[in-house]
Structure 1
Amino acid sequence: MTKRNNNQKNKTAFYAIALLIPVLFFLILEFGLRLIGFGTSTPLFIENPANPNYILPQPNILQRYFPEGTEQPSVTMEANFILKEKPANGYRIVVQGGSTAAGFPYGLGASIAGILDQRLKPSLPGRHVEVLNTAMSAVNSYTLIDIADEIIEQKPDAIMIYAGHNEYLGILGVGSNYTAFGAGLSTTWFLKLKELSLFQLMQKLSVALIAPDTEAPSNEKPGQQTQGSARTFMAKVAKHKNIEKGSDLYDAGLEQFEKNISALLQKYQRAGIPVFISTIASNIKDQKPFVSAELEPEYQASAQKLFASLEQQSKAQNISSLKKVSLTLQQSSSATLHFKLAQLALALGESSIAKTHFDLAKEHDLLRFRAPEAINHIIREQAQKFDAIVVETQKELEIRSPDRIIGNNLMLEHLHPNLRGYFVVANSFYNSFAEFWQTQGDNSPFSPVSIEQAWAERLILPQEEYFGYATILGLTSDYPFTDNPRKPRLPKPTDWQQQLGQDFYAKKITWLDMMETSLKRYTLEENTKQRNKTLQILADALPHQGLYNLQIAEVKFQQGRYNESLHYYQRAKLAGAIGNTIDSNISTLESILQKD
């Protein structure tokens, strides 16, 4: 009996060793590769080279998803900074999401982070407010979950999320050219393994062995063009251009989003970080479907009869005919039919029927650059499950739209808001945050800043507005907005501000050139309002630049805006600015705010 037990133990040990040998081999290989410096790591946060007191999100963070030698979209994260060491009185918010969260095409000044940062500084007296943007164009829920742990390391006090449009045709989307070995489980494993040197070696060998794909996606940011190519990112990203509602690929996009958002919210819940997650919106009134299925034979007669009789009938008769066939035609999968029915209903004053068919036109659009409404259902369900706060941005945009149908009144094209739309989005987050703050019970003051004041003080210059408009013209001059790509015709600048915006769009000058030139011009013109606005934009963009921060601190001090003034004085001091009154003004402001 003992001999049999010994044999069994020996056999078990043999199998264990046999299994451990390849594991040990790969561990040694991984260690060896790291020892010789093979492989790269792309952390989310890097030190600010201009001042080590600050860190910023890695602009080229997307490099972590693409092996060296492959085509990559040149999408970058806009530079914005937080202190490396969070101060004792600090309140830190991090924004996650795609291009809308990032403020495309205007940039940080129109973004959720930019608007909230400006508005929360005076709202939270005595607190050092930092609102950090980690959103960027084209990313989806895979990127959100991938960077979550690194965000948690920065000790945020709240997370704000606006995402969902890129689950199908974004980077790592189920219908995208920019995928990592397919989708689903393979993408999940890719995200787990991508930092291993051994995995990167296998990628490198794979790239070397496989011939380059001549149809590979182009290196372009949405709306921008590069030399040698006139195609936009949207023109290259769509691998699957016909994703039917209810199809396997359609369901895969929803499953991907639900799984990732669930994991994301659970991660933040375990870390004890409040999350504000928004419903998402798109242009349904003024953006016709990109791709539509043919009208089914069983609905052709009803549709033809309705449209053929329009000129022969009175308005009342047309309304009656529309109401009779609307319910039947709602069963059609033709996005084009629904869009035409919606336009007819709107013209006849039947806004409820119009809203129904505009929604159906978006839902059945086969080219899924706009998220289906099921994404919002998932957002609400997962938020409830993990105690996150739902920000009803879609409803707020609808309230401010004629007939509660979102169109060009608040949108630039298919889903990016215009400046007023962005302020509605940010205002929705601000109001949700204000409600949350007042229920915390720690007696910390909250001084509301109205949307009217925030709008009047918006940190966007006419130069940036022109750049944004030009960027959208570039975007809509190519697929999927037109089948025949064309060079956008930019409007002739009407003043020096728009000329600077055009020069920036044409890459003749940098953003910093544009801003510093603007500051000089506004100063010469004695345009105090625009000078101060430009000064604040520069100070926020360059916290390590002492002079700009000192100058705006003095402006805020003279205006009696003490919390904001203290914020900029402290930044000026940290940046090494020289001034006789810096220390005394900081002491005075701290005393004032403590009394308040």
Structure 2
Amino acid sequence: MRIWLFRAIALILPLLVLLLAELALRATGAGQNWPLFKINPANPAYLVSETDIVKRYFANNTALPSVKMEPAFLLADKPDNAIRLVVQGGSTAAGYPYGTGASLAAMLEQRLSRTFPKQRVEVVNTALAAVNSYTLLDLADEIIAIKPDAVLIYAGHNEYLGLLGVGSNYLASQSPGVTRLLINLRQLHSFQLMEQLYQQLNQPLQAADESSRTFMARVARDKAIALGSAQFQAGLEQFDSNLSRLLAKYQRADIPVYISTLVSNLADQPPFNSTPIPETVLSQLPAASAAGKPSVDVAVLDALAAQAASAGSADFHYLLGQQYQQRGMSEQARTQFLLAKEHDLLRFRAPEAINQQIRKLAVRYNATLVDTEAAFIANSPKGLVGNSLLLEHLHPNVQGYFLLADSFYKALGRDQALASWQQPVPANLVPANIAWQERPITPAEEYAGYLRILQLKADYPFSEEPQQVTFPVARTPQQQWGQAYVEGKLDWLSLQNRNARYYHQQGDGDMLLKTLKIIADALPHDANANQQAAQILLKAGRQGEAKGYLQRAILAPQASSQVQQQIQQLQATLAL
């Protein structure tokens, strides 16, 4: 009996020491916490998301990627009649390169608020550029804690070359289990202290400064991950392992999940890295004719396609796709373009196996599949997804982002997912043409996105070496402000305030209303912004929406006396 007592003490004592050390470090303020949501200091009735959440995944003093989460605001106490959705994913879900306005969260919130004017609608963005399934899983418990009515997921492109990806310079461990353990341990202040001591004792050699390079240029450690290789399989296993745990958490919490298939640029994005095309083929398969005239007989193309199946060359498949496309043979072209993406050794685009996993996981965990890939195919010329909806290898243009949000919106409507959708075919669906006209993004932000893509394409992998970027001459006020925004000379709110003044001066009521709504939706805790939105909506005869913005303004106790007076006048008019 005594020996078992000693053994128990021997086991408990180290744990007790660690517990006391942890409590002491927290009491003295040593170490850091990076919660997903924290009290908004500007208005304690609201929570705000942590913009620097990426610091949660790296030791202090680590050279971090310049990745930030767009701030999202939500009521600390969810109202009884509120609709609260949460978006998870990477840069596409976050709206890159346009920012908040093009994001899935903003596009959906704008349309759902129009659909349910009598309810408080919050579509909370937790998407973040460069992250993958590890971050989605890590944030799940905090998302569950805010009681969402559904979680919307668009993710999977970053499993290989995102943060903690299997081929990334920001890899933590080859083992998904070890990586998840490290993520959990890093929340302990004692573990953070041990990491700092380790860093000080093992100072790495100073590397060349690449802070001016794009994230894509810095992240890719493994530039040749062959289809079916051990590393390729590791990426699939990582995604399946993390997503299974994520969806199981939501299923246990009885939270519906809407998970989307992924979209890639097939027709207009040549492979980033490929094994060479066999020399014997090059003489038979010239590059696609600039004039669009077929240069190879169809029988020859079909024979070459059979050879390509065993060659494993992405470039080979891509050239075949171009040749079939010239002949209007869209199905054959799509097959070859898809194989070109599959054999691309530099895995910045998710392989089709990820979409297959998404479909299987949706069935396994009773999640709703949102087939965005099918929507993009249906809305692309000849069904070949390319530059008509995408900016480069995978990020949509504004029309593409609208289509992404539209796919989720229709899935929510088909499922009658929200309490007010009770009809067999929801009668209050907002038509796509109206939602498009009211999309929550301004021309200045669209131009800023265009400039950011110029910057992205001036570096690896679009160019082997970084190129000097020269912006075109800005010819309109919106273009000038968009460029100033990209260059860091203008912050987002200042940009929108300039837009509002400009549209007011021009007498453009529609654009003024849109801009004031954009500001108010981004700052639901701000009394003045929401009072202004309520006022202009009332003038436009949209009383139901005006009441929603006025209710948000009322919740802001820091309003000035002038704003409070205007709020009281609106209350009397709207009988609130």
Q: TM-score range by the shorter chain?
A: over 0.9
Q: Which residue of 1 aligns with 2:328?
A: 349
**1:443 Cα offset (Å):** 3.9
Task: Please tell me whether residue 405 in structure 1 is matched to residue 381 in structure 2.
Answer: no
Match of 1:137 among 117, 126, 129: 129
Q: Which residue of 1 aligns with 2:50?
A: 58
Task: Please tell me whether residue 460 in structure 1 is matched to residue 441 in structure 2.
Answer: yes
Task: Please tell me whether residue 584 in structure 1 is matched to residue 572 in structure 2.
Answer: yes
- Normalization by structure 1: what TM-score? 0.91
Match of 1:358 among 329, 337, 342: 337
Does the CA contact (< 8 Å) of 1:172 and 1:183 recur in 2? no
Q: Which residue of 1 aligns with 2:540?
A: 559
Does the CA contact (< 8 Å) of 1:110 and 1:460 recur in 2? yes
Task: Please tell me whether residue 91 in structure 1 is matched to residue 83 in structure 2.
Answer: yes
**1:107 Cα offset (Å):** 1.0
Task: Please tell me whether residue 271 in structure 1 is matched to residue 250 in structure 2.
Answer: no
**1:385 Cα offset (Å):** 0.5
Structure 1 residues 405-424: aligned runs within 5 Å:
405-424=384-403
Q: Which residue of 2 aligns with 1:427?
A: 406
Q: Structure 2 counterpart of 1:330, which letter?
A: A
Aligned residues: 565
**1:354 Cα offset (Å):** 1.1
Farther-moved stretch of structure 1 (261-270 vs 536-545):
536-545
Does the CA contact (< 8 Å) of 1:293 and 1:333 recur in 2? yes
Q: In structure 2, what is the Cα distance between the partners aligned to 1:22 and 1:415?
A: 50
Structure with greater Cα Rg:
1
Q: In structure 1, what is the Cα distance between the partners aligned to 2:449 and 2:82?
A: 33
Q: Which residue of 2 aligns with 1:186?
A: 178
Match of 1:42, SS state, is coil
Q: Which residue of 2 aligns with 1:34?
A: 26
Q: In structure 2, what is the Cα distance between the partners aligned to 1:518 and 1:441?
A: 35
Does the CA contact (< 8 Å) of 1:53 and 1:83 recur in 2? yes
* Structure 2 runs not aligned, ≥5 long: none
What per-residue deviation string (whole Å, max 9, x for no partner) do you get for residues 429-471 of structure 1?
A: 0000011117979848751111111111112111111110000
Q: Structure 2 counterpart of 1:172, which letter?
A: L
Structure 1 residues 421-570: aligned runs within 5 Å:
421-437=400-416, 443=422, 447-570=428-551
Does the CA contact (< 8 Å) of 1:330 and 1:357 recur in 2? no
Structure 1 residues 142-291: aligned runs within 5 Å:
142-215=134-207, 229-291=211-273
**1:182 Cα offset (Å):** 4.4
Q: Note closer, same or farther for the CA distance 1:131–1:216 as it changes in structure 2 (3 Å cut).
A: farther
Q: In structure 1, what is the Cα distance between the partners aligned to 2:71 and 2:183?
A: 24
Match of 1:581, SS state, is helix
Match of 1:485, SS state, is coil
Match of 2:367 among 388, 394, 419: 388
Q: Structure 2 counterpart of 1:52, which letter?
A: P
Match of 2:575, SS state, is helix
Q: Note closer, same or farther for the CA distance 1:446–1:86 as it changes in structure 2 (3 Å cut).
A: farther
**1:165 Cα offset (Å):** 0.4
* Structure 1 runs not aligned, ≥5 long: 1-8, 219-228, 589-596
Q: Structure 2 counterpart of 1:190, which letter?
A: L
Q: In structure 2, what is the Cα distance between the partners aligned to 1:136 and 1:309?
A: 38
Q: In structure 2, what is the Cα distance between the partners aligned to 1:502 and 1:308?
A: 37
Match of 1:543, SS state, is coil
Match of 1:130, SS state, is strand
Farther-moved stretch of structure 1 (177-186 vs 35-44):
177-186
Q: In structure 2, what is the Cα distance between the partners aligned to 1:124 and 1:468?
A: 30
Q: Structure 1 counterpart of 2:122, which letter?
A: E
Match of 2:258, SS state, is strand
Does the CA contact (< 8 Å) of 1:217 and 1:236 recur in 2? no
Q: In structure 1, what is the Cα distance between the partners aligned to 2:422 and 2:264?
A: 38
Q: In structure 1, what is the Cα distance between the partners aligned to 2:281 and 2:516?
A: 62
Does the CA contact (< 8 Å) of 1:437 and 1:446 recur in 2? no
Q: Structure 2 counterpart of 1:145, which letter?
A: L
Q: In structure 2, what is the Cα distance between the partners aligned to 1:213 and 1:156?
A: 46
Q: In structure 2, what is the Cα distance between the partners aligned to 1:561 and 1:339?
A: 51
Q: Structure 2 counterpart of 1:294, which letter?
A: P
Match of 1:331, SS state, is helix
